[in-house]
Amino acid sequence: MIVGIVSGAIGLGLPLIASLPGWYFLILALYIGESLAYIAGVKRLPVIELVFVASGFFLRALAGAAASHIAVSEWFLVVIFFGALFLVVGKRAAEKRNVGEANRAVLKEYTAEFLHSALTMTATVVVTAYSLWAFDRSATGLVGAPPRRTHSVVDHPGGCRGAVHHARRRIARG
């Protein structure tokens, strides 16, 4: 019974694996290596452990783009990384404030002021990068996709440009 289930899973999974691009497996190897390094001791290194946890989210987003053959904007990747860093720093700040330093040794190395500053910095980068991503008109992506028409709230008649156009028309009419 188990052999049949395993054989069926392999038989169904092989076509999916064969359709994945080669760099997907490179991303997967990086993710596994990063996870093993974190377990081996990086989790005890202040700041570096924050970056390792956040880069795990980044690598998963990158792998998803590779697996689905979707070109993504560089701004999207910046938003993903700093958004993940924002979450990790916020979690560390909450742990330090609510639980204390007993459960996670690296928390002794962080001050509340540092965590607050890092939280503010990452939030600023996320909002700035998201704004740049929303207004980005280029077609560059991870795989150098050909130029394509992008759609966003900025282009929508009720979006930012529509509101500005409407305001200019009203001012011109007096």
Element (DSSP H or E) covering residue 84: helix 74-98
What mean pLDDT do residues 125-151 have? 65
DSSP 147: P
Q: How far apart are CA 132 and CA 90, in angstroms?
A: 24
Domain range summary for the chain, segments of one domain joined by +: 19-138, 144-174
Statement: residue 157 has pLDDT above 80: no
What pLDDT shows up at residue 171?
A: 57
**What are the pLDDT digits (tens) for 108-123?**
999 999 999 999 999 9
pTM recorded for the entire structure? 0.70
Q: How far apart are CA 63 and CA 70, in angstroms?
A: 10
Q: Which residue has the tokens 């459960």?
A: 103
Residue 147: pLDDT band (50, 70, 90) is very low
What pLDDT shows up at residue 163?
A: 52
Residue 142: pLDDT band (50, 70, 90) is very low
What pLDDT shows up at residue 91?
A: 96
Q: How far apart are CA 146 and CA 14, in angstroms?
A: 29
